[in-house]
Amino acid sequence: MANKTLFTSKRGSRVPAANARNEQGAVAYQRSATQALAQYVATGCLNGTFYASADEQLDRVVELCKAVDAGFIARLAVYARRSAYMKDMPALLCAVLSTRDAELFDRVAFEVLDNAKMVRVFVQIMRSGAVGRKSLGTRPKRFVQEWLYKLSDEQLFRSSVGQNPSISDVIKMVHPRPRDANRAALYAYLIGKDYDAEALPSLVAEYEAFKDRALNGPNPPALKKALRMLRKSKGFDFDANVPDVPFQMLTALPLGLREWASIAKNASWQMTRMNLNTFQRHGLFEHPDLVNRVANRLRNPERIKKARVFPYQLLAAYMNAEASLPQAIKNALQDALEIAVENVPSIEGKVVLCPDSSGSMQSPVTGHRRGSTTAVKCVDVAALVAAAFLRKNQDAQVLPFMEKVRNVELNPRDSVMTNAKTLSSLGWGGTNCSAPLKWLNDRREAPDLVVFISDNESWVNSGPSRQGTAMMQEWEVLKRRNAKAKLVCIDIQPYSTAQATSRRDILNVGGFSDSVFSAIADFARHPIDGDYWVSKIEDVQIP
C-alpha cells in the first residue's frame, strides 16, 4: 500500500510545489524576473539588509534587468519614482536603460530624475561602472546638459548642495554651454573659477552678503537674555533677512536667534520634519507663535502630499523626538501620520492583519548604511501598516506573529502611532508565516481578507518542497471555508522569493509608500486575474 503520509490528499492537494529556497534555506516560491525586479526596486535602498549586502542587491538588480525587456524597466523606473517614492533604485534603472534603449531613456529621464539629488545619484551610478561603462555616454550627457539648461539661475543655485558628486562636479563633467552672462558667472562661481560678481544672480549675491555680515553666535549670557525676551514677546520679529537658500548652506554659519527663527519660519516640510530637535536646541519653541507655525506646517495635507513622505518617516520623527519638544509638535506629527495613511482602504467583511515580529524584522528598514542607518526597523513598519489598517477597519483582528501568534490587545480608536508602538515592542523570535493562518484554521474562522506584513523569510515550519510552503498549505485549508477569501502579502525587504505564489486570490506587493494601500484596495474590491502588482506597473504610461 502506498505511503499515506507521502501521498495524502487531505491537506495541500491544490498547493503548488515550492521551487526555491529563501535566504534561510527554507522552501519558498521563486518570483518571476518581473516580480523579483519590482520587489527589489520598490523596497531596496542599495544598503546592507539582514540577509544581503549592498553589493549583492546591486548585482541582483543588474542581472534581473537583463532578464526583462527595456519597456518594463522604463515603466518600473517611473512607477518606482512616482508611486513608490524611491530614489537610488529608479536612478539605477535609468542608468541601465541608457545602455539598453537610448530612446526609452530619453522619454523617462526627466520624469524619473526629477531633482538635483536624483541627477547626482544617476551620475554617480554611471561613473561607477556598475552598468557597464564608467562615463556618461552621449545620451546621458545630453540629458544632464538639458536638465541644467531648464533650471532657472535660482533653481540651479539652490540645487548646489550635496556631494559625491556635487553639482560642481557634474558641471565639470558635462561642460554645459551658458545661455547668458548670468549663467556663465554662476557656472564659474559654482566650480570655483573667477567670475563676474556683478553678473551673479541676485540670490547668490544676497547669500554672499549674508555670509559676510553673519554675526558670531551669541555667548551663553546673551542667549539666555534673548530667550527671555522671546518668551515675553507677543510679536517676535522672525524676519532676519536670511536668504531663501537650502538649510545646508546656512547651518555652518554663526547664526543668532533671529536667524534661526527666520529659518524655521520659512523651512520646507521635509526640512522641518528632520530638524525638530535642532530647532528645540536653539530655543525656537520658546515662542508659541513659532510652535503653532511649525505644528500647522507638519499637519498640512497639501504639504504632506507634495513632500512624498513615507509614513514610516513620520514614525521615525516621532520616535526620535526629544522629550522636551512641545506636546503640540508631537501631536502634529501624529496628525501628519494619520493624513499620510489616509489611503488605507476600508474593506467590507472580516479583515485579519498579521504583522511579523520575528528576529530578521529587527533589521533597519532601509538597510545598514555607515553613519546614517535609520532607527526605524522592519518591525516598526509592519506595526505601522497594521495599525493604519486597524484605524480604517476597526473590527479587524490583529495577529502579530513570530514562530507562533502573539496575544495583544489594541484599541482601534487609539492613534496609529500609539498602536504601532505597542505592536513593535512585542519582542522577537523565529519566523513562521503559516502561524496566523493555522491559528485561524484551528478556530475555524473564515476571514475575507488576510494581510501579512513581513520580510517573507519563513523557516520555522518548512517541509518538503513538493508539498509547497506551510503558508500555502494553511491558506488552502482556509479557502475551503471561504472560497472568496483573499490574501495580501506586503513584503518590505528586497529578496526574490515569496511564501505564497501570486494568483487570482493572492497579491504579493512590496514597498513603503501609500501606493501599496491603493493596490490593496483595488485587489480587495475587484476580481483580478494574474499578477496584479506587475500588471499595475505594466500599465504605467511612458511619457
Q: Give the pLDDT confidence of 329-338 residue by residue, as tens digits.
A: 999 999 999 8
Question: What is the pLDDT at residue 111?
Answer: 96
- Please give the C-alpha separations between residue 118 and each of 48, 94, 109, 540, in angstroms, as whole numbers: 21, 10, 10, 20
Q: What is the pLDDT along the chain (543 residues), one digit of tens a residue?
A: 455 444 444 444 588 999 999 988 999 999 999 999 999 999 887 776 765 678 888 899 999 999 999 999 999 999 999 998 898 999 999 999 999 999 999 999 999 999 999 999 999 999 999 888 888 889 999 999 999 999 999 999 999 998 889 999 999 999 999 999 999 999 999 999 998 888 888 888 888 888 777 644 444 444 455 445 445 554 555 566 788 888 888 877 788 788 888 888 888 999 999 999 999 998 889 888 899 999 999 999 999 988 888 888 888 898 888 999 999 999 999 999 989 888 788 888 999 999 999 988 888 877 776 666 677 888 998 999 999 999 889 999 999 999 999 989 899 989 888 999 899 888 778 999 999 999 999 999 999 999 999 998 898 887 787 889 999 999 999 999 999 999 999 999 888 999 999 999 999 998 888 788 888 888 888 777 778 889 889 999 998
**Is position 49 within any domain?**
no
pLDDT at 351: 95
Q: Are the beta carbons of 415 and 318 closer than 8 angstroms?
A: no
Residue 275 covered by a domain: no
Is 445 domain-assigned?
Answer: yes
Q: pLDDT value at position 369?
A: 67
Whether 48 and 54 have beta carbons less than 8 Å apart is answered as: yes
208, 224, 241 - which closes a domain: 208
Largest CA distance in the chain: 97
Range of the domain at 169: 86-158+162-208
Domain endpoint, select from 174, 208, 242: 208
**Per 3-state DSSP, what percentage of the chain is helix, strand, and coil (rounded to 5)?**
50, 5, 40
In a domain? residue 128: yes
The pLDDT assigned to 345 comes to 85
Residue 42 lies in a domain: no
Among 16, 4, 3, smallest CA distance to 503 is for 16
- Shared domain check, 503 and 360: yes
d(CA 190, CA 178): 13
Question: Which residue, 208, 234, 269, sits at the end of a domain?
Answer: 208
Q: Residue 165: is the preceding peptide bond cis (ω within 30°)?
A: yes
pTM of the predicted structure, to 2 decimals: 0.86
- Condensed to tens digits (0 to 9), the pLDDT of residues 291-323 reads 999 999 999 999 998 888 888 888 889 888 899
- Name the average pLDDT for the chain: 87
In a domain, 415, yes or no: yes
CATH code of the domain containing 400? 3.40.50.410
Q: Domains in the chain: how many in total?
A: 2
- Residue range 48-85, pLDDT digits in tens: 676 567 888 889 999 999 999 999 999 999 999 999 88
Cell of 72: 518594463
Q: Has residue 291 been placed in a domain?
A: no
Domain assignment present for residue 65? The answer is no
Give phi and psi for 222, each to the nearest 5. -65, -40
Instruction: Yes or no: say if 42 and 486 are a contact pair by the CB < 8 Å rule.
Output: no
- CA-to-CA dists, residue 251 to 97, 216, 242, 358, angstroms: 38, 13, 12, 41
